[in-house]
Amino acid sequence: MTTQQAPAIQVQGLEKSYKELHVLRGVDFDVARGSIFALLGSNGAGKTTVVKILSTLLKADAGTARVNGFDVATQAADVRESISLTGQFAAVDEILSGRENLVLVARLRHLRNPGKIADDLLERFSLTEAGARKVATYSGGMRRRLDIAMSLIGDPPVIFLDEPTTGLDPQARIEVWQAVRELADRGTTVLLTTQYLDEAEHLADRIAILHEGRIIVNGTLAELKQLLPPAKIEYVEKQPTLEDVFLTLVGTKA
């Protein structure tokens, strides 16, 4: 790549405390445009706090963060114009139908033709048939798909996905992964937090590990693997994993 573009997300020296609890103690990282960046960490490591600061829901105590070139503290409105947040729990309106949820978000983003936007997204996420039904009747995977579809409205250049597959069954997880890959293929920058190592391994261009309030490593999967002694060659019988068995039996195409 020769084009000199500013990173989609730049974070420097980010600190945040909740009363006595020092959650972030100086977090630094950059996310290149159009890439998938995974923020990995155990529960309570502060992943959600980082996402909330980047999506202007929380104010940092110290440090700076820029999203799409805009400062989250001083240009919050421009940041909100540039992002979408998919939080830890599918933030959908249970009482409205899937289509109404999409129309609602399109209207709140002040777009033209909210109905058409909704129909296109329903189709893209295979929800057309369920579109007129109340979201309360959806499965976990359908809800998550709708949730992500809602985040795509208005084509924001940066999308935050906070633990997008927590609580999903394996099939739904694969559906979400596909959706995330498609996003990156279209040039959207994705910052994803997860506590599942395989999820980061499957999806991310770069992986950073957040531990005790700091980023302790940040690199591609290959780079992270080099941190450990070189691989030894061992011969191991390849057993199908339980996931393989499950997916074969329930007959998913993935």
Partner 1 sequence: MSKHFFGDTTVLLGRSLRHITRSPDTIITTAIMPIAMMLMFVYVFGGAINTGADSYVDYMLPGILLITVASGIAYTAYRLFMDMKGGIFERFQSMPTARSSVLWAHVLTSLVANVISLGVVMGVALLMGFRSAAGVLAWLSVAGILILFTLALTWIAVIPGLSATTVEGASAFSYPLIFLPFLSSAFVPTATMPGPVRAFAEHQPVTSIVNAIRALFTQQPVGTDIWIALAWCVGILVVAYAFAMRTYRRKIS
Question: Which residue in 14, 83, 142, 192 binds partner 1 (CB under 8 A)?
Answer: 83
Q: With CB under 8 A as the contact rule, which of the stretches 53-61, 117-125, 164-172, 239-247 interacts with partner 1?
A: 53-61
Q: With CB under 8 A as the contact rule, which of the stretches 73-81, 118-126, 182-190, 238-246 interacts with partner 1?
A: 73-81
Q: Is 132 in the site for partner 1 (CB under 8 A)?
A: no
Beta carbon nearer to partner 1, 110 or 232: 110
Find the shortest distance in angstroms from Cβ 98 to partner 1.
14
Q: Is 58 in the site for partner 1 (CB under 8 A)?
A: yes
Instruction: Give, as ranges, the residues between 181 and 200 that touch partner 1 (CB under 8 A).
Output: none
Q: Is 68 in the site for partner 1 (CB under 8 A)?
A: no
Q: Is 116 in the site for partner 1 (CB under 8 A)?
A: no
Q: Is 80 in the site for partner 1 (CB under 8 A)?
A: yes
Find the shortest distance in angstroms from Cβ 155 to partner 1.
13
Q: Is 104 in the site for partner 1 (CB under 8 A)?
A: yes
Beta carbon nearer to partner 1, 38 or 83: 83
Query: CA-based angle 123:151:205, to the nearest 5?
Result: 100
Binding site for partner 1 (CB under 8 A): 52, 55-59, 77, 80-81, 83-85, 87-96, 100, 104-105, 107-110, 150
